[in-house]
Amino acid sequence: MPSNLAKVAGLSAGSALLAISFPYVVKLSAPLLSLVPDLQMPDYAFPIPFLKTAETETEPPPFVCDTSHSYKTELVSLDPLVVYIHSLLTPVETSSLLSTAEPLFAPSEVIKHGRELRTKDRTSSSAGLPGNDPVVECVLARARRFMGTMMRDGWDEMGPTQLVRYSAAGQRFNLHHDWYDSPRQSVGTGDSRKWNRLASFFAILQDNCTGGETHFPFVEGAAPPSPWGDEIWGGEVEEGEGRGEEEGRSLPLWRAHEDGGLAFRPVAGNAIFWVNLHPNGTGDMRTMHAGLPLGDGLKTAMNIWPRRYYR
């Protein structure tokens, strides 16, 4: 009577023979194939270690910065200068920035009296982005080109970037300004120069929310906002479609706030740009703004604060 070892050896040999001959079986002509009885194929892998199939992991293609990416602008205010930018960020860039920042989010802080503090005035979460990330570099280069001669090559810098997230009802950032009361000095860089935030870009990455507008109470529009919202940039609106009727009409990108000034609704990919400093380097109080309380959903945005350096 054959031993258990012999049975195992016979089964392994039979499995190996079946696996080796199977490719030739499926190549048989139709008449011959009809003579082959139906094989009951197991729903598990053959126990043949030396015939393992190599699993290949597909990696996403490397990011390539689209230097030809175009965006459109609307002049909101001349003094202070406020510009609305349509499609500053691409969907690919947005997805990558969110993926990079996801494990880095922590409760937001504010700087008061030279110290970073957590406060009830700001209840969001924030994540600093690595400066050597290729997507961050791409977006900063685009923002730098937008600013033109406002930035002095070899002297001023775009500065670090930050994502901010509002994810719970009521989260907000009360009225504040981005510029510092007095220029700051870089820490741990060996650079003795002082700097302040010359301007701000506030770009939206996620807008699946209610509420969460950005309110500038001291900014008056140079002209009324676009009456058709995003549709004016998404293709021509056919004559009569949505015009003069509430139904089918897009929400305006910004509106006159009931307490004064302008309130901008979050729209993914779009951004607001404004200049923080007067020509003499002091902060412009009219650029004070607030992140209004979130209703529900999720709002994520990117802060870019270009730096003006002083001797």
Q: Under 8 Å CB-to-CB from 13, ≥6 apart: which residues?
A: none
Model's pTM, two decimal places? 0.73
154-207 tens-digit pLDDT: 899 999 999 999 998 999 889 999 999 999 987 767 788 999 999 999 999 999
206-234 tens-digit pLDDT: 999 999 999 999 999 887 666 555 544 43
Q: Is the pLDDT of residue 32 over 50?
A: no
Q: Which residue has the higher pLDDT, 45 or 287?
A: 287
User: Above pLDDT 70, what percent of the chain?
Assistant: 68
The structure tokens 């500038």 sit at: 216
Over residues 263-282, the mean pLDDT reads 97
User: Above pLDDT 90, what percent of the chain?
Assistant: 56
Both tokens of residue 144? 């730098």
**Torsion angles phi and psi, residue 228, rounded to 5:** -110, 10
Separation between Cα atoms, residue 20 and residue 48, nearest integer Å: 11
DSSP characters over 85-126: EES-S-HHHHHHHHHHHGGG-EE--EEETTEEE-BTTB--EE
